[in-house]
Amino acid sequence: MMVHVPNVLNAEQVARCRAVMEKAGWVDGRATAGHQSVQVKNNLQLPEGSPEARELGEMVLGALARSNLFMSAVLPKQVYPPLFNRYDAGMTFGSHVDNAIRSVAGMRLRTDVSSTLFISEPDEYDGGELVVEDTYGAHAVKLPAGDMIVYPATSLHHVTPITRGSRIASFFWTQSMIRDESKRALLFDMDMAIIKLTRDHPQHPSVVELTAVYHNLLRQWAEV
């Protein structure tokens, strides 16, 4: 399940990200790549734990907490501290799957959902599409600054080569309360249906009945 989450960051927050990044020191992105990914990864990254990464990461985490769509689609249990990367002309990231387990603050996190939050505008660079593969084919994603795509971390995906400009983004992983992707998708579809029903028929008794079903399924499936 791929979900486009618009306006995670507003224009002022995007501008702050870019101002901080202009003065930051970038390092080889392969520092956080796994054994397979390191062979196909060619980009730059803000150092994990740097003051710049911490400031911007806290901004992103705060924005996620305010995004009802992200919460509904991902049902987060724990979010890995956001990372930030840059692709300049000639850079790319070949086809790979994200590591299943990440360590953060002495704890292990299972990467159920991957997220890419775009910070560059689409007309600022050529190439650089995030391409996610699933049973329905390959899906190319290139979103406005401040928008985010979330998708199963089990997916093969790659970033096409940059031919002009620079592509800047935040990326991170989330361990969901719902490990199973199909169950997570079912709960998301049900939540969206409840929201529409509430909007169109707010007094209909089915609103309460369906909400009860949603929460009882969540109670049955959630790992907390």
- Binding-site residue set for 2-oxoglutarate: 167
Check if the beta carbon of residue 40 is closer than 8 Å to that of residue 53.
no
**Which residues does the annotation place in the binding site for Fe cation?**
96, 98, 157
- Residue whose tokens read 């909400």: 211
Instruction: Extract the annotated binding site.
Output: 96, 98, 157, 167
Can you tell me the distance from the alpha carbon of 150 to that of 3, in angstroms, rounded to the nearest whole number?
Answer: 5
Query: How far is residue 83's CA from residue 122's CA, in Å, rounded to a whole number?
Result: 20
Query: Two tokens at 69?
Result: 């769509």
Amino acid making up residue 155: S
- Residue 94 burial (10 A CB sphere; 0-12, 13-18, 19+): middle
Say which DSSP state 122 is in: G
Q: What phi and psi values does residue 142 have, to the nearest 5 degrees? A: -150, 105
- Element at 217 (helix H, strand E): helix 205-221
